[in-house]
């Protein structure tokens, strides 16, 4: 995919750009808000990474200007550590996701992949059934089957599986799950995600041949058909 990275700190910019290039993405870089707008107004980027603090025109202003110009490109906002209001401000300005600096590269990469696929996911938002391999989810009846056999899930396990199925084939990180399944915008020390994943795995994988729910070491989880 093609990514535009808007970051003024050269070291962080290099870290992000090099990392993304190594993963095979095409990366453009802008060091300030004006260059960012100039580059972003040309269509072609699948996703934007915008730093909250930029010299001159700040990151929020860039996001607002892009949204005002009618651009719907997915935007991930990078915010500073401890800026507890940044998330709400960023989402209000029109950003789609946020990530607190410093971050693990796997987190950034997973979130960008999810964002780039977001238009495709939203297009299928109205669908009432999800299907990954032999796993099927009926959102209306709130029923799950694998190979046609019904699986009983607790409400949170159902929500967890729904998120994983919507992002099937991608890596979903622990923090993404905390946010989307539990609305936790902080990191609890307790292994909430791990215990839920382990229980879900027991229900969808244990009695079936090939496991679908994989742990991606140092990154998160991935559901594959």
Partner 1 sequence: MARSRLLSSAAFRLAAVYAVIFAVSAASLLGAVYVLVTRYDQARHRQIVHTQSVNLLREADEDGLGEILEHLSAQDADDQDRPDSFLLIGPDGRVMAGDERLADTPLGLSDITLIQSDGAPLPMMAVRANVQGGVLVVASDTADLLTLQREMQWSFAWAGGLTAILAILGGAATSILFRSRIGMVTRTTRRIVGGELSERVSVSPNDDEFDRLAMDVNAMLDRIESLMEGLRQVSNDIAHDLRTPLTRLRQRLETVRNGPQAIALYQSALDAAVEDTDEILATFAALLRIAQIEAGARKAGFQRVDLSRIVANVAEAFTPSAEDQGRRLTARIEPDRSVSGDPELLTQLISNLIENALSHTPEGTPIEVALTSLGDRIDVVVSDRGPGVPEAARDKVFRRFYRGDASRTSQGNGLGLALVAAIADLHGMSIALEDAQPGLTVRLSLRRAPEATL
Near partner 1 by CB under 8 A: residue from 196, 204, 212, 220: 196
Give yes or no for a contact between 73 and 47, defined as CB atoms under 8 angstroms apart: yes
Q: Is there binding between residue 189 and partner 1 (CB under 8 A)?
A: yes
Contacting range for partner 1; rule: CB under 8 A; set: 37-45, 57-65, 84-92, 166-174: 84-92
User: Which residues have CB under 8 Å from 116's CB, separation 6+?
Assistant: 1, 46, 47, 74
The token duo for 4 is 């535009």
Q: Is there binding between residue 91 and partner 1 (CB under 8 A)?
A: no
Nearer to partner 1, 103 or 208 (CB): 103
Helices (H) and strands (E) in the chain, counts: 9, 12
Give yes or no for a contact between 52 and 86, defined as CB atoms under 8 angstroms apart: yes
Near partner 1 by CB under 8 A: residue from 2, 44, 56, 88: 88
Nearer to partner 1, 42 or 183 (CB): 183
| 205-219 core/surface letters (b: 16 or more CB in 10 A; e: else) | beeeeeebbeeeeeb
Q: How far is the CB of 218 from partner 1 (least distance, A)?
A: 8
With residue 67 as reference, give the H or E element that holds it: helix 59-68
Q: How far is the CB of 205 from partner 1 (least distance, A)?
A: 17
Nearer to partner 1, 22 or 195 (CB): 195
Near partner 1 by CB under 8 A: residue from 190, 206, 209, 210: 190
Near partner 1 by CB under 8 A: residue from 81, 120, 123, 140: 81
Interactions with partner 1, residue window 169-188 (CB under 8 A): 182-188
The token duo for 121 is 């996911």
């Amino acid at each position: 995919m093609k990514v535009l990275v808007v970051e003024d700190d050269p070291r962080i910019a290099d870290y992000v750009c090099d990392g993304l290039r190594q993963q095979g993405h095409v990366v453009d870089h802008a060091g300030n808000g004006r260059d960012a707008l100039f580059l972003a107004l040309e269509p072609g980027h699948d996703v934007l990474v915008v730093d909250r603090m930029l010299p001159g025109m700040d990151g929020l202003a860039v996001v607002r200007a892009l949204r005002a110009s009618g651009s719907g490109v997915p935007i991930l906002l990078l915010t500073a550590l401890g800026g507890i209001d940044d998330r709400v401000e960023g989402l209000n300005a029109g950003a789609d996701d946020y990530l607190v600096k410093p971050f693990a590269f796997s987190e950034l990469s997973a979130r960008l992949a999810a964002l780039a696929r977001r238009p495709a996911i939203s297009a299928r938002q109205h669908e009432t059934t999800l299907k990954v391999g032999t796993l099927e989810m009926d959102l209306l009846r709130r029923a799950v089957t694998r190979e046609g056999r019904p699986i009983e899930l607790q409400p949170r396990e159902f929500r967890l599986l729904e998120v994983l199925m919507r992002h099937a084939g991608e890596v979903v990180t622990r923090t993404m799950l905390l946010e989307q399944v539990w609305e936790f915008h902080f990191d609890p020390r307790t292994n909430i995600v791990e215990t839920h994943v382990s229980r879900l795995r027991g229900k969808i994988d244990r009695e079936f041949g090939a496991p679908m729910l994989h742990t991606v070491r140092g990154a998160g989880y991935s559901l594959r058909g």
